[in-house]
Amino acid sequence: DTEVTQTPKHLVMGMTNKKSLKCEQHMGHRAMYWYKQKAKKPPELMFVYSYEKLSINESVPSRFSPECPNSSLLNLHLHALQPEDSALYLCASSPIANYGYTFGSGTRLTVV
Amino acid sequence: QQQVKQSPQSLIVQKGGISIINCAYENTAFDYFPWYQQFPGKGPALLIAIRPDVSEKKEGRFTISFNKSAKQFSLHIMDSQPGDSATYFCAATPADSNYQLIWGAGTKLIIKP
């Protein structure tokens, strides 16, 4: 299995809603990432988990809350988002000390 | 500030032609230079990558050329096909980080039939 699977593919949520994005990989990768991508822009790093521990938080607002329940799963909990948070949210994984990222297809999030 | 500058922003090439995308980096020790291909509605996919001790790497129709002294690297797509139409991002990994990627701004490539 050489895939990173993200669910849901599309999500529309109101500014008062709470929702979660899910990511799963079975490649044995020990680093997992959340990225945010706006249209026509490169991905922006949000969080990095290494061996299930949060190792990088790129000053992301607290309305985004990551969670890594085990080495295969990564969640992103969303609460009280703003319309400007609408974007493609990408999960990725990589082996530790290797630089080959594998990205999922992303969740297209719209905040209304 | 770490930067990777990518050009052109967009590129139109005839089918069968050579597509060339250029990137340059500044003042930082990077030790890994990947290229990603992204189709609309999909995540980026690793296309090809190079380390700075190699001047060229070829995989099928895709070639990376790397000039360490000039701090430049480029992607060449030979015999470009309509299926190559996508956005291409160059990137670089700082030598002191296993996790971070510094991304170029992206090039939207259109291959005309």
Contacts of A104 (CB under 8 A, 6+ apart): A3, A4, A5, A6, A23, A90, A91, A92, B43
In this prediction, residue A36 carries a pLDDT of 98
Give A102's pLDDT tier (boundaries 50, 70, 90). Answer: very high
Q: Chain A closest CA to B46's CA: distance in Å?
A: 7
Say yes or no: B49 contacts chain A, CB-CB below 8 A: yes
A73: three-class secondary structure by DSSP: strand
Q: Which two tokens stand for residue A78?
A: 């969303």
* Residue B6 CB neighbour total at 10 angstroms: 21
In this prediction, residue A10 carries a pLDDT of 97
DSSP A7-70: E-SEEEE-TT-EEEEEEEE-S--SEEEEEEE-TTS--EEEEEEETTEEEEE-S--TTEEEEEEE
Q: Do A108 and B41 touch (CB under 8 A)?
A: yes
Q: Do A42 and B34 touch (CB under 8 A)?
A: no
- B35, B64 in Cβ contact below 8 A? yes
> C-alpha B68: how far from its chain's center?
15
Q: Chain B closest CA to A110's CA: distance in Å?
A: 14
B37: three-class secondary structure by DSSP: strand
B9: three-class secondary structure by DSSP: coil
On chain B, the residues whose CB falls within 8 A of the CB of A108 are 41
State how far the Cα of A97 lies from the Cα of A100, in Å rounded to an integer: 9
Mutate one of A5, A6, A48, A99 to test the B interface: name it (highest B CB count within 10 A). Answer: A99
In this prediction, residue B108 carries a pLDDT of 98
Q: Which of A56-60, A64-68, B43-47, B105-109 has the lowest mean pLDDT?
A: A56-60
On chain B, the residues whose CB falls within 8 A of the CB of A94 are 99
Q: What is the overall mean pLDDT for chain B?
A: 94
In this prediction, residue B105 carries a pLDDT of 97
On chain A, the residues whose CB falls within 8 A of the CB of B43 are 4, 90, 92, 103-106
Question: What is the average pLDDT across A43-72?
Answer: 94
**% of chain B with per-residue pLDDT over 70:** 96
Mutate one of A51, A96, A101, A102 to test the B interface: name it (highest B CB count within 10 A). Answer: A101
Q: Is the pLDDT of residue B1 over 70?
A: no
The β-bridge relationship of strands A107-111 and A87-94 is: antiparallel
Give B103's pLDDT tier (boundaries 50, 70, 90). Answer: very high
Q: Is the pLDDT of residue B28 over 80?
A: no
Question: What is the average pLDDT across B38-64?
Answer: 95
Residue B38: strand pairing partners: B87
The alpha carbons of chain B give a radius of gyration, in whole angstroms, of 14
Phi-psi region of A28 (alpha: psi -120 to 50; beta: other; left: phi over 0): left
Q: Is the pLDDT of residue B78 over 90?
A: yes
Q: What is the overall mean pLDDT for chain A?
A: 94
Q: Is the pLDDT of residue B25 over 90?
A: yes
On chain B, the residues whose CB falls within 8 A of the CB of A43 are 44, 103
Cis omega (within 30 of 0) for bond into A8: yes
Question: What is the average pLDDT across B93-104?
Answer: 86
Say yes or no: A66 contacts chain B, CB-CB below 8 A: no
